[in-house]
């Protein structure tokens, strides 16, 4: 490495000195941590991280490099969007040497190419303990140039990561209207592989004027309450009977459209090892998660109920309507990275779509 020093500065005045292994430019954002042991290419390209500086708690990052930008069905095969979405990265130890059959470049090269600063040599264990005790904080990575702190939750983050025009994938029999609030590519892969035609539209698109068999609400960054147009469009869709499924931000948007409330978690859930229990059963699943907000389950209307619950802290991990074919998950059934325990939810959604189509015939 080049031994260029960089500073990680927290809003409370804490200054940590490390070495740069990314782009040598300053960046500011919300400092969050992820406890996953693998999957940094997927995490870094996940639009849900837009505006955030990511702390990797696993102590060794970079040892398997970065996969190339090969595409299939017009989406990247190994990235979750078309670029790195985080504002910066913080690790304990960066591995300059990498080895993997699919690696095309080092993590350092990739970060520099996308102009994302990164700092190593930080005690990420101590930093994570601080975030767990005091909550998520604003932070910045600086070199010689000073920059102000910036709160990404005040910005229209979803507008920054959503597509700007309609895109179609696949040619299956089920027509799925996918509202892109910052979608991960593997959600599209999971839908297309299940005999669907996916119509991906911008987050503020009025999908109620279109014909579809099922509506899908994607994951995405920031405060769900910022997306008023999406919530209003969804509120109208909930008056109907056609199946609707949401993931992560989509789960929160569905709750808000139904009349419930959301709140900011102290430090969020970002990992591959979050246990969730399907309410009313003894079934527990290990899930991949990346969110900083949650549904206040006490505010759910009487025609809605909690579908999944976090086994660690009891927070709401999904909701479903008591009579209509609407449900959502706070976690990521599509994984990428992480466990695939709950991918069956895509099958359940398509079963609802099939049933709905038959009832119309």
Strand partners, 263: 294
Measured distance between the N- and C-terminal CA atoms of the chain, rounded to whole angstroms: 65
What distance in Å separates the CA atoms of residue 125 and residue 123, rounded to the nearest whole number? 5
What distance in Å separates the CA atoms of residue 19 and residue 17, rounded to the nearest whole number? 7
CA angle 237, 172, 72 (to 5 degrees): 105
Tell me whether residue 174 is one of the annotated catalytic residues.
no
Question: DSSP letter string over 145-205?
Answer: S------GGGS-HHHHHS-SS-EEE---SEEEEEEESS--HHHHHHHHTTTEEEEEEETT-
What distance in Å separates the CA atoms of residue 240 and residue 237, rounded to the nearest whole number? 6
Q: Kindly report the backbone phi and psi dihedral angles of residue 252, in degrees, each rounded to the nearest multiple of 5, phi listed first.
A: -70, -40
Nearest to 283 by CA among 255, 262, 311: 311
Give the burial class of 157: count Cβ atoms within 10 A of its Cβ; 0-12 exposed, 13-18 middle, 19 or more buried: buried
Tell me whether residue 80 is one of the annotated catalytic residues.
no
Tell me whether residue 272 is one of the annotated catalytic residues.
no
The one catalytic residue in 190, 248, 269, 321 is 248
Residues with a catalytic annotation lie at 248, 332, 334
């Amino acid at each position: 490495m080049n031994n260029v020093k960089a500073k990680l500065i927290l809003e409370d005045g804490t200054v940590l000195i490390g070495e740069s292994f990314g782009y040598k430019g300053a960046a500011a954002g919300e400092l969050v941590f992820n406890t996953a042991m693998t999957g940094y290419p997927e995490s870094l390209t996940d639009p849900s991280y837009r505006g955030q500086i990511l702390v990797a708690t696993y102590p060794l990052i970079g040892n398997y490099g970065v996969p190339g930008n090969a595409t299939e069905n017009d989406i990247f095969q190994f990235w979750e969007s078309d670029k790195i979405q985080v504002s910066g990265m913080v690790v304990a130890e960066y591995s300059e040497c990498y080895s993997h059959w699919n690696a095309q470049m080092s993590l350092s090269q990739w970060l520099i190419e996308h102009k994302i600063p990164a700092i190593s040599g930080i005690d990420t264990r101590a930093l994570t303990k601080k975030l767990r005790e005091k909550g998520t904080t604003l932070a910045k990575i600086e070199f010689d140039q000073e920059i102000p702190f910036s709160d990404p939750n005040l910005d229209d983050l979803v507008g920054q990561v959503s597509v700007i025009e309609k895109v179609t994938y696949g040619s299956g029999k089920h027509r799925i209207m996918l509202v892109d609030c910052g979608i991960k590519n593997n959600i599209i892969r999971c839908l297309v592989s299940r005999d669907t035609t996916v119509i991906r539209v911008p987050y503020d698109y009025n999908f109620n004027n279109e014909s579809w068999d099922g509506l899908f609400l994607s994951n995405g960054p920031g405060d769900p309450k910022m997306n008023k147009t999406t919530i209003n469009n969804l509120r109208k869709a909930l008056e109907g009977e056609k199946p609707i499924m949401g993931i992560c931000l989509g789960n929160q948007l569905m709750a808000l459209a139904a009349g419930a409330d959301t709140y900011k978690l102290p430090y969020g859930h970002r990992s591959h090892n979050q246990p969730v229990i399907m309410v009313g059963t003894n079934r527990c699943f290990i899930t991949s998660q990346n969110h900083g907000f949650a549904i206040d389950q006490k505010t759910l209307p009487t025609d809605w109920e909690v579908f999944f619950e976090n086994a660690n802290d009891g927070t709401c991990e999904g909701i479903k309507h008591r009579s209509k074919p609407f449900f959502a998950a706070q976690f990521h059934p599509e994984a990428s990275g992480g466990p695939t325990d709950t991918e069956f939810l895509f099958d359940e959604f398509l079963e609802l779509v099939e049933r709905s189509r038959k009832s119309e015939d």
